Amino acid sequence: MTQFEEYAKLLVEVGVNIQKGQNLVISSPVDCAWFVRLCAKAAYDAGCREVINCWDDDELSREKGLRAADDVFDTVPAWRVDMLTGYARGGAAFLRIAAEDPENLKGVDPDRLLRLRRASGKALEEYRRLTMTNAVAWSIGSIPIPSWARKVFPGRVEEESMEKLWDAIFAAVRVTGDGKAVERWREHTAAIQERVEKLNALNLESLHYTNSLGTDLTVRLPEGHLWAGGASRTKGGVPFIANMPTEEIFTAPLRTGVDGVVYASMPLSEDGNLVDKFYMVVKEGKIVEVHAETGEETLKAGISVDEGASYFGEVALVPYDSPISNQKLLYYNTLFDENASCHLAFGEAYSECIRGGESMTPEELKAHGLNSSITHVDFMVGTADLRITGRTRDGREVPVFIDGNFAL
């Protein structure tokens, strides 16, 4: 078994954990078709009923952004909505191969991108709800493409940059070619679960973040919040791993309970544009100011998609001394960068982060303090000197992070 085959098998058997007789929808750039074929073969080997493919392409996306008729960005084709929502209603699993040029849409009118995001969010609301509430199994993996590899490893010939990015990804997802990646991931998720249980036992009321960048942020947590990480479970009890790789433990903040200033520690690739050297000012949960040396307009557009986009939906803990962080690479891809650093996300909260949340209505989730939005954007805040102090509901102060790493 090659490393490519082992990785495909891992995404199918551990990522989405395909079940016999279940459909699998794979979304991918056309550049990655050869890898999608490996995933499809692994899925059929595991008893998949049918593999359905959804293709996209960086070059075509850019041409559309620059040259399509203006009204195109206010609508989503009915066939796309019907397909994704229909398969989700029918219990399909969803695998996304996330590989794109981080600056593919640089120069495209930001208003067009914002309108398209709003239209997509509204049209695909049911599909988003089914995935965000774990009604279906879903997972995101990634493989190199030349434009992305050149960004991560500039100044090298294409073959070398592709090879180096492959090596980094294989290390991040624990694939060595020995056929034992599935076993390694079971051990890894079990270790994450141990720390999840420790955090849940603390019954924290708030977290206070400080570091030398200037972050001074207090994050209150809703009563009944739950930390999660490693494997999630569908409502039918099937375990799956939403991000491959994953190193994070996460929960939802109280929608109106975030106050202070937070500085990003890495660039953010958002809507095909880079946002770099930025910070946010937050009052009573709402992002009231954003400042960035690069991509400020992109960031402002991101937090104005809808009302919930300017509030936080996730707080995630990742040790500075962890496998992906120790690679000392900037991937320009949130799937990897968020698993190298503590991060926050503005937008939608995950329903699994509140006790009983997966069976709650959107109105009930809001009543319990969780944010709702058609968007969810992670940005990285972890540093080597990050300190996070927790306060429990019985008034104790507990060091959660010291010098960028868990103190628990």
Percentage of the chain with pLDDT > 70?
100
Please give the Cα distance from 38 to 26 (Å, whole number): 12
The tens digit of pLDDT for each residue in 332-371 reads: 999 999 999 999 999 999 999 999 998 899 999 999 999 9
Range 3-172: architecture per CATH: 3-Layer(aba) Sandwich (3.40)
The tens digit of pLDDT for each residue in 161-220 reads: 999 999 999 999 999 999 899 999 999 999 999 999 999 999 999 999 999 999 999 999
- Output the CA–CA distances (angstroms, integers) from residue 76 to 112, 116, 118, 123, 280, in the order listed: 13, 8, 10, 7, 31
Question: Residue 1's pLDDT is what?
Answer: 85
The tens digit of pLDDT for each residue in 104-157 reads: 999 999 999 999 999 999 999 999 999 999 999 999 999 999 999 999 999 999
Q: Is the pTM of this model over 0.85?
A: yes
| Token reading at 15 | 């990522």
Please give the Cα distance from 152 to 269 (Å, whole number): 13
Please give the Cα distance from 254 to 172 (Å, whole number): 32
* Those residues with Cβ within 8 angstroms of residue 73's Cβ, 6 or more apart along the chain or in another chain: 112, 113, 115, 116, 119
Please give the Cα distance from 73 to 125 (Å, whole number): 17
Q: Which residues on neighbouring strands pair with residue 339, listed in sequence order?
A: none
Nearest to 61 by CA among 9, 126, 107, 125: 107
* Contact indicator for 340, 280 with CB cutoff of 8 Å: no
Helix (H) / strand (E) element for 61: namely helix 58-67
Please give the Cα distance from 39 to 34 (Å, whole number): 9
Please give the Cα distance from 99 to 163 (Å, whole number): 15
* Those residues with Cβ within 8 angstroms of residue 299's Cβ, 6 or more apart along the chain or in another chain: 268, 270, 275, 278, 290, 292
The tens digit of pLDDT for each residue in 221-250 reads: 999 999 999 999 999 999 999 999 999 999
| Token reading at 235 | 């409502």
Please give the Cα distance from 379 to 267 (Å, whole number): 8
The tens digit of pLDDT for each residue in 242-301 reads: 999 999 999 999 999 999 999 999 999 998 999 999 999 999 999 999 999 999 999 999
How many residues appear in the chain? 408
| Token reading at 147 | 């434009």
Mean pLDDT over each residue of the chain, to the nearest integer: 96
Burial class (CB in 10 A: 0-12, 13-18, 19+), 189: middle
Residues of the chain with CATH 3.40.1830.10: 3-172
Q: In what order do the strands lie in the sheet with 93-97?
A: 50-56, 23-29, 93-97, 138-141
* Mean pLDDT of all residues in 63-73: 98
Residue 65's region, left for phi above 0, alpha for psi from -120 to 50, else beta, is: alpha
* Mean pLDDT of all residues in 76-105: 97
Chain centroid to CA 65: how far? 24
